């Protein structure tokens, strides 16, 4: 394991947060396009219009819910009710949207938020069926990972699972969020991607080996990611596809731009693969690794900057230690 003392933990926190938004915004214009179509005209920079006819630098539901999560954790140490209420406000009022309207939302997320709006407690709102394992909780989990990264594994995993369950309550989705969290915890310490993955796999196995869902993580736990070809990577909205593809993008590149563009150019659920991979790469390589022009083009840059800096300061108080 080789650490990078030059990059501060705060710089990694900010890198992960901004990296998620950048990856999302890069992917929005080509969302739902198949891989062959995307790669005829690969994404290399921020684009306007495209799939959702949005201005350049527009983020999607991924980032809106991530921002709501960060905002909630900034104002409350840990309140699922408050988090759920903010998600409902996003759905109904456009809270933390790029331009005031919601133009994309997953079905499982929509169903859960409708339940909360009708009075169901947030902790019981997420779908429990096996078919409810889209990537809608994985895409927004990073603020919770960063906020509780310094906690013991039992507290850390429990809180991530509960945050996932607001919209995605099935064990597979909850466990995917924890795996992502374990990976981020090591990257925050400056670990290189492969050793971080190896350690995350070991800790995840020790924690979840007895779970009935453990076998569904076989590819996440066993694949030699660096040896896989692009043809072996699936980039749908299924939570384990998104996690696997994002890890592959991180392990097979050496910097932030290459990682996030590789993710987006896989086609399919481009905004979420870009968001999840961008979070990993932002933590791995730090804030300064993200092209300034990409950040400059994001919608509501000033609002986001204020939130992220306040949130990063809170995360620093509970920083993960070696």
CATH number at residue 165: 1.10.4080.10
Buried/exposed 45-56: b ≥16 CB within 10 Å, e otherwise: ebbeebbeebeb
112 domain-assigned = no
SS3 (DSSP) at 54? strand
Site of tokens 């840059």: 301
77 domain-assigned = no
Site of tokens 């870009």: 274
Per-residue model confidence as pLDDT tens digits over 201-224: 999 999 999 999 999 999 999 999
74 domain-assigned = no
Per-residue model confidence as pLDDT tens digits over 106-156: 999 999 999 999 999 999 999 999 999 999 999 999 999 999 999 999 999
| DSSP secondary structure letter of residue 96 | T
188 domain-assigned = yes
92 domain-assigned = no
309 domain-assigned = yes
pLDDT at 318 exceeding the cut of 90: no
The beta-carbon contacts of 190-195 under 8 Å, at least 24 apart in sequence, are: 190/3, 190/4, 190/5, 190/7, 190/12, 191/1, 191/2, 191/3, 192/1, 192/2, 193/250, 193/251, 193/280, 193/284, 194/226, 194/251, 195/1, 195/2
Domain count, the chain: 1
76 domain-assigned = no
139 is in which domain, residue-wise? 9-59+133-317
Mean pLDDT of the chain: 96
| pTM beyond cutoff 0.85 | yes
In contact, 237 and 272? CB cutoff 8 Å? yes
Per-residue model confidence as pLDDT tens digits over 268-297: 999 999 999 999 999 999 999 999 999 999
What are the phi and psi torsion angles at 168 (to 5°)? -130, 95
Per-residue model confidence as pLDDT tens digits over 154-206: 999 999 999 999 999 999 999 999 999 999 999 999 999 999 999 999 999 99
Name the band, by pLDDT with cuts 50, 70 and 90, for residue 1.
very low
198 domain-assigned = yes
Q: How many CB atoms lie within 10 A of CB 209?
A: 10
Q: What would you report as the CA-atom Rg of the chain, rounded to the nearest whole angstrom?
A: 17
């Amino acid at each position: 394991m080789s650490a990078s003392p030059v990059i501060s933990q705060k710089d990694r926190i900010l890198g992960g947060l901004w990296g998620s938004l950048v990856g999302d915004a890069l992917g929005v214009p080509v969302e739902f396009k198949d891989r062959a179509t995307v790669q005829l005209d690969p994404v290399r920079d921020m684009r306007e219009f495209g799939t959702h006819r949005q201005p350049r630098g527009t983020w999607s539901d991924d980032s809106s819910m991530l921002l709501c999560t960060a905002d909630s954790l900034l104002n409350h140490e840990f309140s699922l009710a408050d988090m759920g209420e903010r998600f409902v406000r996003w759905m109904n009022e456009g809270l933390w949207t790029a331009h005031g309207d919601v133009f994309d939302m997953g079905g499982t997320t929509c169903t859960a938020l409708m339940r909360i709006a009708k009075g169901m407690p947030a902790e019981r709102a997420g779908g429990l069926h096996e078919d409810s394992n889209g990537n809608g909780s994985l895409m927004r989990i990073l603020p919770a990972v960063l906020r509780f990264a310094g906690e013991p594994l039992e507290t850390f995993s429990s809180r991530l699972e509960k945050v996932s369950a607001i919209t995605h309550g099935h064990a597979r989705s909850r466990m995917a969020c924890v795996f992502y969290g374990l990976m981020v915890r090591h990257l925050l310490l400056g670990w290189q991607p492969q050793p971080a993955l190896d350690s995350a796999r070991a800790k995840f196995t020790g924690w979840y080996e007895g779970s009935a869902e453990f076998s569904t993580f076989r590819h996440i736990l066993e694949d030699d990611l660096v040896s896989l070809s692009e043809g072996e990577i699936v980039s749908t909205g299924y939570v384990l596809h998104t996690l696997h593809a994002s890890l592959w993008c991180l392990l097979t590149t050496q910097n932030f731009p290459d990682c996030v563009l590789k993710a987006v150019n896989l086609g399919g659920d481009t905004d979420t693969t870009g968001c999840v991979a961008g979070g990993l790469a932002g933590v791995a390589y730090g804030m300064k690794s993200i092209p300034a022009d990409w950040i400059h083009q994001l919608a509501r840059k000033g609002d986001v900057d204020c939130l992220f800096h306040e949130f990063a300061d809170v995360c620093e108080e509970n920083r993960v230690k070696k």
